[in-house]
């Protein structure tokens, strides 16, 4: 008898929110931002490890084992810093390839001319 009331109670979901897509320039800037952040954190950890190895070396005194341990810490910290910086270069290169800035030979005011 009151069939129209049942139809009025049907929940109709709202239409999906239409947005704009992600452009290559935005993707490249996101990649560069994340890469820069992770590179900075890695370099910070490397600096902390180098400082710790220096403190270990000063506290070693004449103990050969402690000196070798401090030197190993220093060597590993430098190696880690080089790896982090190398990965940072790779990530920035990928970001420039994605935004096509890598292939630009001449840029004036941020625009690729040639």
Query: Cα 39 to chain center, whole Å?
Result: 6
DSSP 14: P
In a domain, residue 97? The reply is yes
Determine the structural domain holding residue 77 and report its residue range.
23-112
For residues 64 and 58, give the distance between their C-alpha atoms in angstroms, rounded to a whole number.
12
- For the chain, what is the domain count? 1
pLDDT tens, N- to C-terminus, the chain (114 residues): 556 556 556 667 777 777 777 787 788 788 888 888 999 999 999 999 999 999 999 999 889 999 999 999 999 999 999 999 999 889 888 887 887 777 776 777 767 776
Q: Are 81 and 46 contacting, i.e. CB atoms less than 8 angstroms apart?
A: yes
Q: Does some domain include residue 8?
A: no
57 assigned to some structural domain = yes
At 22 the pLDDT is 79
Q: Is residue 5 part of a domain?
A: no
User: Is residue 82 within 8 Å of 69, Cβ to Cβ?
Assistant: no
In a domain, 95, yes or no: yes
State pLDDT tens for residues 100-113. Answer: 777 776 777 767 77
Residue 40 included in any domain: yes
- 3-class secondary-structure state, position 108: strand
Does residue 11 lie within any of the structural domains?
Answer: no
């Amino acid at each position: 008898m009151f069939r129209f009331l049942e139809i009025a109670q049907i929940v109709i979901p709202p239409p999906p929110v239409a947005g704009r897509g992600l452009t290559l320039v935005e993707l490249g800037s996101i990649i560069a931002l994340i890469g820069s952040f992770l590179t900075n954190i890695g370099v910070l950890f490397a600096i902390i490890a180098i400082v710790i190895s220096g403190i270990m070396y000063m506290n070693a005194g004449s103990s050969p084992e402690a000196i070798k341990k401090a030197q190993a810490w220093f060597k590993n910290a430098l190696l880690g810093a080089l790896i982090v910086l190398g990965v940072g270069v790779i990530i920035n290169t990928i970001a420039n390839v994605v935004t096509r800035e890598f292939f630009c030979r001449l840029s004036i005011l941020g625009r690729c001319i040639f």
